[in-house]
Chains A and B, each alone.
Chain A
Amino acid sequence: DADVTQTPRNRITKTGKRIMLECSQTKGHDRMYWYRQDPGLGLRLIYYSFDVKDINKGEISDGYSVSRQAQAKFSLSLESAIPNQTALYFCATSDWPSYNEQFFGPGTRLTVL
């Protein structure tokens, strides 16, 4: 079984809808991250969490929110989806210290029409 899983893997939605992307991990890591990937722009950090009570904004947090429900679960929400949020979204985890290697989920391809 995969260590970091993401659901759904693909999602098509309409402008204005609320969307939740979920991430679960079995690696026992405290640190979890959400990134988005756009062609030619690499990965950009949306939010990160160092433990259940610690949530931090990343480089591009506007329009997004997160919830760390447990050590193993980290969800990303788009409150009111817009077309320029169409992207590939990745969840990742890492062990302490957080600048160790990160382990990525398979990604969620989100299309906002």
Chain B
Amino acid sequence: SQQGEEDPQALSIQEGENATMNCSYKTSINNLQWYRQNSGRGLVHLILIRSNEREKHSGRLRVTLDTSKKSSSLLITASRAADTASYFCATAAITGGGNKLTFGTGTQLKVEL
């Protein structure tokens, strides 16, 4: 089963609006990462947040992490049509994970003009 589960599965917004997507996971983690995938292409790393961090920013991206609830959110502010993509969270487990990432099922974001 997937460690990370994104919510919602699909999201459609207008250009200029903010997009929020959420990720829940099950085990203790070293860090949580967000990736973007344009249709049929390879994933691109967006941001990494460590287990001892609560919030991180990168440009128009804001990521929060709540380890007590085992959840994270990715906020994209002032969205653009070019942000249309699938977004995946990935978790690095502390133990038993063989130091590898486990990916969620993704949120499909569509930003309309």
Contacts and interface: CB of A to CB of B under 8 A. Distances in A.
Interface of A: 4, 33, 35, 40-45, 48, 50, 56, 58, 88, 90, 92, 97-107, 109
A67 B41 CA distance: 24
A90 B100 contact: no
B106 A42 contact: yes
A37 to B, nearest CB: 9
Given A98-B100, A99-B30, A99-B99, A43 B88 contact: yes
A43 B104 CA distance: 7
A109 B39 CA distance: 12
Q: How large is the interface on B (under 10, 10 to 19, 20 to 34, 35 or more residues)?
A: 20 to 34
B30 A104 contact: no
Contacts, number: 57
Contacts of B103: 35, 42-44
Given A41-B2, A102-B45, A109-B40, 13 more contacts: A35-B103, A42-B4, A43-B88, A88-B40, A92-B43, A97-B99, A101-B33, A101-B45, A104-B44, A106-B41, A107-B40, A107-B41, A107-B42
The 10 tightest CB contacts between A and B, nearest first, are A99-B92, A104-B42, A101-B45, A42-B105, A43-B103, A98-B99, A104-B43, A42-B103, A106-B42, A99-B30
